[in-house]
Structure formats: C-alpha cells, structure tokens
Structure 1
C-alpha cells in the first residue's frame, strides 16, 4: 500500500477521529485538528484514534483513494453476501449493488468497490501501525489502559490484513500459500516512508497470526472495553478463530471460537426475531453503535438489507432468501419465520416477471386477497405504503423505528458464528462426537426437533454445518468467503434469482479453478506503488 506519510496527519475532529493522507491536506486541515505527534502523545489521544477506527467500521468518510459511498462494513457485509449469492435481489431496484451481484465490480480494478475495500483497510493498518510503533518505543508506562489500546491496535491490524488477504489473494485452502501473491505488508511509520511488494499469502498469514496473538496477550492484561464497539478479548479470540478457520488450522479455530463465545449466550426466539438492530443483544460480541449524528443514511447497513428502511433501494427491491434453501428449513425451526414465502409480488419491475398483480403472482387468484396480503405485511412490520413486497422476502433485519431512515447498530460478530466455527473445525478434524455436541448447542436452540444422531459422519456433519451457516448467518456477510473456503461454485439456479438480472453472477465455477473469485487490485494502487506493476495484477 502506497501511503503518503510525509503529509499524513491524524485528525481529531469534534465529531469523530479520522485519518487523512491527502497531498493537499495542509490546505484543508480544520482548526480543531492536531498533528500526528500530538495525536499519539498520550494514551487518551491514542484512544481517540481508536475511536475513529471504531466509527470507521461502519461510517462513510472521504478517505484518500476512496469515496464515501462504499466505506465501512455497513456496505461490504451486504455487498459480499450479494456477490456470494446469499442476499438475492428481487429486482434491479435503484441500481445499488447491481454490478456487485453481476460480478462486474470486484473484477474491475477501476471500480469504487475494490478501491474502497483496499484503501479503507490500509487506513486501519496505517492507524494501527502509528499506535503500535509509538507505544513499542517504550516511552509509556505499561498500564491496563495502555494494554487495552495496544491490544485493540494489534487486533485491528490483524483483522484488516485478514480481510485483505482473503479477498485479494487466492484462498489459503484452495491455493498454494507459500507462493501465491498476497498483499503488501506495511508496518513502518518512520522514514523512508516506503511501500512494499506483494508478500506471499503465507507471509501475510504469519504477520496476521503474530498480530492477533499479541492482541490477545495485551487484552488479557487490559482494562475492560468501554462498549461492544471496542475490540474485547472475546472479539480478538473471534478474529483468531476466523483466521484459523480460513487457513484450515482446525484445532486453533475450535479453541479460539470456544473462548470467544464465553459469556455471550445464544438468543431466545423473541430476541432473534427482534430485528438484529442493536448490539445490546446477548449474542453480540462485537458491533458498531450507530448514533444519530453519525448515521450513514442511504449508505447504511439497514438501507441495503432491511425491508422496513424508507429508501428507494428497499421499497423497490426487497431482498430475498434462496427459495431452495428456505424450503429445506424444517417447519419446527422457528428461524423460518424470518422470511415470507407467500408475500405478494407487488413490484411490476420484479425480475422474476411475476410482479404487479394477482394475475401474474402464482400464489394469488384474486385482487382482494393479493392486496390484503400486502397490507398485512406492511402493517405487521411497519413498512410504508410505498414499499413493495416479494415472495421469500426477508424480515430478519428490522429497524427499531420502522418506515424511517433512522440509524441502527451494525453487528460484526455473534456467538452463534463461533459455535458454527467450533463445530466445523471439529468436524474437519473428524471428531464426530464433539462436532455433534457443539452443533447441537445452536441447532437445538433454534429447532427443538433437531436430532444430532442424524449427523454421524464427517460428510453429513459438514453438510448440516453449511446449512446452519446459510440460515443462521444469512445477510451478515459470510457467504462469499464461505464459498472460497469450501471450494464451492456459485450456482443461482433454483434460488429465485433472475439470470437476466444476475448475468455473470448467476454461475461461477469453484474458486480453486476460477481466479475471478480473487478481487482485482485497485488500479490506483498499481499506479502509485513502485513495487507493484500491471504484471502483479490478479
């Protein structure tokens, strides 16, 4: 990553803390900002830098080399599930993410999507580097507060590099990590302010594992996190579990996942169905608390996924689950209520060609029943009368204040995911009984009729674990990387997706033989970084 350190200052603004690396920064620096030296002069100021990163996890901001419209996990969680085929668009809508699901954005080095994903994560790395290197100089007394700051900085750096290497390089389990090109490892914050070539995937993982282990060590001796926006030791263990899972380091993944979920009990049925709109839910290990003054409005997570958000994307394009997947959910599993298979198809522009009236919707045979069903959905879930409905639409993600553009929290990590990681790792180690017991923790809580004895082989267990992940974590941003880890093709046949709408995203061969699963490096990076040329492009 080519970072212009010479004129890079840390901005401590009244509203939030962000990092700008613009060459013309000195002409635009606000009067309420201070220099990088001052920003890193005390633990209190370093915490402000971290607070900026907590906000950057979900917020929009004009980072160098990026634009506000696609910054933050608010965008990339639903984007990855659109590309990975989990969140299905029922119509062209207003165009948002259409090029994502058509596999046009991540395969284009000039797209805003790849540029923002890359530059924002290197922004996290640059800020973490500044904190880590300043503290490691040894000029500060070690205290629980300082350990908290340092632990979070190491965790953010591990998280950011993991997001980069699993997205811009061939998957660890489907490639040759020792020789596959990964991403540049940039750790310095002192002269000569140089960049770096692409390290191998293996080298990047070595750095990631070192960072996350350091994070856990420091957080073990740290003061308590202020809230769930901060990276706690449980969240760091969860990041470690994800890293190990993507690498196939099964024993480490199982152990870290078990530690991550300690103290975060699974949701009850009523809590699970409450909308996933607050990080106060018992399962949430890590999430972003979005306040009114810092909302993303029409670039927020709920704008992309919630059926109740009052935006043109939501009103015209209800997001649906694969009908094939939905029909596999047992009637005894109460998660089935998170999608509405018989919601009337009221949108004339619906991509399946069945929208607009009872005459085209095969689920209805008269106008009164058709519109009565629509009104029931709208009034039950708090949509506006401008919202369309569609068969298999999701009602998993619901606003606290439906029918508005009010902000809601963004969830990054839940204990349910950790149960699934632990079970998958145990299954891959062929520890059948342990995997059965672990999976039962989640599956029996969602479906009282679930019977672990039915899954008595590794193959059966893995198929059930995949099913549970697809249902439990629907819309939370995991499907793209799950395809890579499992080396599974993307096939939208029999899902309800429109081949006309999805185009190249309707079918993609499995990742081990298809390099389109590897995102293009931004052209802006190739143009700026002397160590990366066109020949290094994915």
Structure 2
C-alpha cells in the first residue's frame, strides 16, 4: 500500500468490505460511508476487521489490483508451486505454469509479485487506520475493543512478515542488519507518504513488537469461536512462525505449544476427510468461505483439489514428489492421500507417458488401465472429463466433489506447530526434547513410528524436513522452508518434467541465488520516490 493512488482507496476499500446487511449500514448508502464513519466506534472497526478476514481468501476487489490473484487462496498453492512441493503433471490451462518455471516472481512486471505486495500493504494500511484512530480518539477499553486492536496488530505483524520473508533475503542466510527489507509504514491518512526500504532487522523488530502487542490485547479480549478471526492461539502461532524464520529457536519452541493448546491432532478418519473445513480439530486459523462471495475458478480448491470441475484440474492433477512419497511407510496412513498407481490418462501429460496403457509403465492392458481410472473417478467424485496421473493428490477433497462450490481455506494447523517445536528444539541440540515433540505427530500418523531412531541433530532435521513436506503438502510452506533451510531445488527424481519446469527444475540454494527473492513490483518503483531501480532485488 505504498503507492499514493492505492492508499487513497482506503476509505473505499473499507466500504466494500463492510457487509450491507449489518445494522450499522441499514439506513446509510454504502457508497456514502466515509473513512471517518467506518472508524468511528469499536463496532464499526470490528466490521472493518471482518473485511480483512474476507480479503484473506476472496477475489481482490480493490481498484488497481487484479482479481486473478485472490488472497491466500492463490498464494498458498502458488508458493508451493515455486517451492517445488506441488508437482504439476501438465501445463493444464496455464495457471501457475510461470510460477513453477520461475518466470513469474522473478519478473518485476508480474501480476503475482504486484498482487502479493499490493494486498499485504492493504492489510497494513487498514490495520494502521484502526490502530492510530483508536489511539487518537481514546476509546474506552473494552473486551471487544481489545479484540479489534489485537487482531489489527496481528494482521500488521503477519503482513510485514509475509512481505519481508518474500521480498527480502532470508534472515538466517543473509545479513539482516544490512539486507534491504520492505518499506515500514505505520502512519495513516494524509499526506500518504511512501517510504524507503528498511533493513530486514528493522522490519523484524517492528513485526515482533506488533505481535507482542497483539498478544497482550488478545489476552484481555472477548472470546469467540470463529476461526476466521485471529485468536490468541493464532497470534501465538504467528509469533512461533516469525521466531522460526529468524532462527529464534527458544521463542519458536515456547510459542508453538501455546498456539496448539486446545487444538488436538486429527485422527486418521479426519486427516483423510479432505481438509475442506475449519471445523477440523487441528484448525487454529482459517477462512470461512462465504457461498455468495466466493472466487470459484480462482479459489484454493480450484488449484489444489483433484475433483474440482475446472480446466486447471481436469487435465492437470497435482502430484507429490515420487522421492517424497516413496519414503512414506506402509504403516503411515498419510500414504492414502496420494495415488502412486493412478493411470496416466492424459495424452498431454508432460512426462510423455499419458493417454494409454501402452505408454504407462504401471499397466499392460487396456481394460485394467481404464478400470483403474473409472474406480478413481467414482470414488473421489470427479467427472468423466478428469484425467488421472501416478502420484496424484487426493489429500484435498471437496465437500461437493465434481462441482465448483466453495470450501474453507486453512491457514494454520496444530500439526505445523508440533513441527515448529520439534525443529526449534533440534536446532538447539535438545535431542530428547525434539524427539518428544516429533513423537507427538509421528505416533499419530504412523503406528510404527519410533522416535529413538532420530538420535542426532542431523537425523532429526532430516526427519522434520520430510515430515513438513508430507504433512503440510499443498498448504503453502515449501517456498519459505527451502529458504530457511538454505536448500535448492532438484526435481530430477520427483516425477516433474524438465520440459515443463524449465528454470524451476534445478535451482541453486537461496544463499547463493537471489532469484529466491521476489522482485519489487515495477509499479511500486515507478510510484515511490524512495525506491529506484538501484533498490530492486
């Protein structure tokens, strides 16, 4: 939200996000609500916060942005495509092909980089307006106001964390005291001044300050049961994520267990149910997609769910890496979330083995080949227009398979928090503590899991990395995980096609390859006098 023309839209964006059905607006035309009115009370500011909850998943409705990159619904699968964990089986309809080929985030004019930047700064500008207006008007403290302010500070912390970990060099692998971060803007209202890039360290300092303030407010806030809101548990989870990303192992290990308190791990039945609802016990934070306001063919499940009836999926089922899947023990029920023997029915499959039993090495006759396809179509509710592919994903299932109905988008689960605690303790060389943390997840997923096998830091980290890639597959973590671990990409044995993946097939590790850093949008450089081409990544 650095560009002046974008900041001037703050009042309009608040209007768009406030539901017309609310009593507050019953007698006021939506196009006449001013920024002052929208921030006039804790009740009206709560409605503005509700707008941010929707912006997390919905189509971008802000003037100057593009609806083709719709919040976390788009960026969760996009980051896993860039990070190499989601394997595309064919070009499909072209969506995200440039992401996995590393031709999108490396381009300053790309819509992906612009919308990621644009939307996160929108969250920041709205949070600034709430925080600053509340201080200026000295509203009396109430549990509801604490809730609003806690979420505003948490959203600002989360937004800056998403920006600095994406548009700057990784904290652990770089020099945060001198590496260029992102512009820090805490003011709201005229004169809408832009800002230069702060250092990575300065941005992290503000993030940590904000999330600590958020926690202090949320501890005094009214309780709620809506997981689309940022609760105290979600704030603890953000704190744990921030700490992990900068190598603050002590705080990562401290806050991750607090975040998952009260959110028990899924059992086998629930884990295999499709990850389509926030009502799952593990979900700490997620978006409740409103039926009448969904983004349909730009929704999360459009990109990720096999049976979604869209052109992205029918010809392009998403795959898990063969190397990754083949290490899943037979005693681990997660092996049912992908289908290694699914027939390759797509003649346009990028591995050139699709369309017939004669090219698919798993089958030697036509009847078995098409019978296997039919069994999958029927079992998972796809249409006869859907293709299948070896190692295809069925982890994500729609509530109404074969259609385009909206489903919830999950942002944070307790399994992630278990793995944060395990990684932090492993990095502190607390072998017993890391084993115990890892056992919480491992024993639930794998009936034969034995924590004692992982008796060194190296063995623990290898297992934790594997667990994150399997457990969190498709949930948007691999891009930032690779940066934190300083690991490059090599898809040689993954099942990905080098012809399809191009520049994204083999990528040097982040510490020696600045292409891991998203380009600053060209429109930002053109509009912000404090950032020139010399400041580009």
TM-score range, shorter chain: over 0.9
Q: Would you say how many aligned residue pairs link Structure 1 and Structure 2?
A: 528
Helix, strand or coil: the match of 1:386? coil
Are the structure 2 counterparts of residues 83 and 7 from structure 1 closer, same or farther at C-alpha, using a change threshold of 3 Å?
A: closer
TM-fit CA distance, 1:291: 1.8
2-structure distance, mates of 1:286, 1:499: 36
Task: List structure 1 segments (4+ residues) > 6 angstroms apart after TM superposition.
Answer: none
- Are the equivalent residues in 2 in contact too, given 1:90–1:390 (CA < 8 A)? yes
> Deviation digits for residues 141-183 of structure 1, max 9, x if unmatched?
0000000000000000000000000000000000000000000
Helix, strand or coil: the match of 2:3? coil
- Aligned residue for 2:447? 448
> Deviation digits for residues 48-87 of structure 1, max 9, x if unmatched?
1101100000001232442011020000000000000100
Matches within 5 A, 1:346-425: 346-425=345-424
1-structure distance, mates of 2:61, 2:526: 20
Helix, strand or coil: the match of 2:378? helix
- Aligned residue for 1:508? 507
- Are the equivalent residues in 2 in contact too, given 1:71–1:120 (CA < 8 A)? no
Matches within 5 A, 1:147-186: 147-186=146-185
TM-fit CA distance, 1:530: 0.6
> Deviation digits for residues 221-270 of structure 1, max 9, x if unmatched?
00013500000000000000000000000000111101000000000100
- Are the equivalent residues in 2 in contact too, given 1:10–1:39 (CA < 8 A)? no
Helix, strand or coil: the match of 1:179? coil
- Aligned residue for 1:120? 119
- Are the equivalent residues in 2 in contact too, given 1:91–1:350 (CA < 8 A)? yes
> Deviation digits for residues 265-299 of structure 1, max 9, x if unmatched?
00010000000000000000000001210111000
Are the structure 2 counterparts of residues 327 and 8 from structure 1 closer, same or farther at C-alpha, using a change threshold of 3 Å?
A: closer
Helix, strand or coil: the match of 1:137? helix
For the pair 1:231 / 2:230, whether they are aligned, the reply is yes
- Aligned residue for 1:24? none
What runs of 5+ residues in structure 1 fail to find an aligned partner?
Answer: 19-28
- Aligned residue for 2:522? 523
- Are the equivalent residues in 1 in contact too, given 2:418–2:438 (CA < 8 A)? yes
Helix, strand or coil: the match of 1:94? coil
- Aligned residue for 1:490? 489
For the pair 1:246 / 2:245, whether they are aligned, the reply is yes
2-structure distance, mates of 1:366, 1:80: 39
What runs of 5+ residues in structure 2 fail to find an aligned partner?
Answer: 21-27
- Aligned residue for 1:59? 58
Matches within 5 A, 1:227-306: 227-306=226-305
TM-fit CA distance, 1:135: 1.0
Helix, strand or coil: the match of 1:199? strand
- Aligned residue for 1:201? 200
TM-fit CA distance, 1:192: 2.9
- Aligned residue for 2:220? 221
For the pair 1:9 / 2:8, whether they are aligned, the reply is no
TM-fit CA distance, 1:138: 4.8
- Are the equivalent residues in 2 in contact too, given 1:65–1:524 (CA < 8 A)? no
- Aligned residue for 2:23? none
2-structure distance, mates of 1:507, 1:470: 18
- Are the equivalent residues in 1 in contact too, given 2:276–2:399 (CA < 8 A)? yes
- Are the equivalent residues in 2 in contact too, given 1:342–1:391 (CA < 8 A)? yes
- Are the equivalent residues in 2 in contact too, given 1:173–1:485 (CA < 8 A)? yes
The TM-score, its normalising length taken from structure 1, stands at 0.96
Helix, strand or coil: the match of 1:70? coil
Say which is worse superposed, 50-59 or 129-138, in terms of deviation.
129-138
- Aligned residue for 1:471? 470
> Deviation digits for residues 426-459 of structure 1, max 9, x if unmatched?
0000000000001000000000101011000000
Helix, strand or coil: the match of 2:68? helix
Are the structure 2 counterparts of residues 286 and 461 from structure 1 closer, same or farther at C-alpha, using a change threshold of 3 Å?
A: same
- Are the equivalent residues in 2 in contact too, given 1:148–1:225 (CA < 8 A)? no
- Aligned residue for 1:26? none
Compute the RMSD of aligned alpha carbons. 1.4
Helix, strand or coil: the match of 1:353? coil
Helix, strand or coil: the match of 2:526? helix
- Aligned residue for 1:429? 428
> Deviation digits for residues 95-137 of structure 1, max 9, x if unmatched?
0000000000000000000000000000000000000001122
Are the structure 2 counterparts of residues 242 and 7 from structure 1 closer, same or farther at C-alpha, using a change threshold of 3 Å?
A: closer
1-structure distance, mates of 2:160, 2:271: 31
- Aligned residue for 1:533? 532
